[in-house]
A = this chain, B = another copy of it.
Amino acid sequence: MAVRVQAGDFDLGAEVAGLCAGRVDIGAVVTFTGLVRDLDGRLMGFELEHYPAMTERALAGIEAEAQARWPLQASLIVHRYGALAPGDRIMMVATVSAHRADAFEAATFLMDYLKSRAPFWKKETTPGGSAWVDARETDAAALARWSKGS
């Protein structure tokens, strides 16, 4: 169970290999990787601001919540900050479990929580200037579904 916040890039394969190293009780590993996308060819890049004193604490809290809900054998959140260009990796999560349904659900949950509760803000730069990215309403809705009675 680990959380890292860093300016530099990460290596998905190495991170997953590290989570599984020396273990034979793992059946399923699910990963999500978020990338800087430029859908209309105008994005020059963005700056990812964060709140250092809170970021790792918030991510660790989200991870602990996932561990309480699903039987995870390991999990990892890596999130970058600073200047990123189109195509760059922004962040990853990985969830490790004996069974695939748990790994898939926990990874989806981590992403939904992280989007709305981890203190990061994106400022995009295009030829027209720089602007803060608005939060998406679908992200708030994605978060809300996890608190429905079940």
Contact = CB atoms under 8 A, between A and B. Distances in A.
A24 B36 contact: yes
Interface residues of A, number: 37
A96 B25 CA distance: 28
B30 A35 contact: no
Contacts of A34: 27-28, 100
Interface of A: 11-14, 16-17, 20, 23-39, 43, 86-87, 98, 100-101, 103-104, 107-108, 111, 138, 142
Copies in the complex: 2
Given A11-B13, A13-B14, A100 B32 contact: yes
Given A12-B13, A86-B24, A100-B111, A29 B33 contact: yes
A87 B38 contact: no
Contacts of A138: 101
Contacts of A37: 24-27, 98
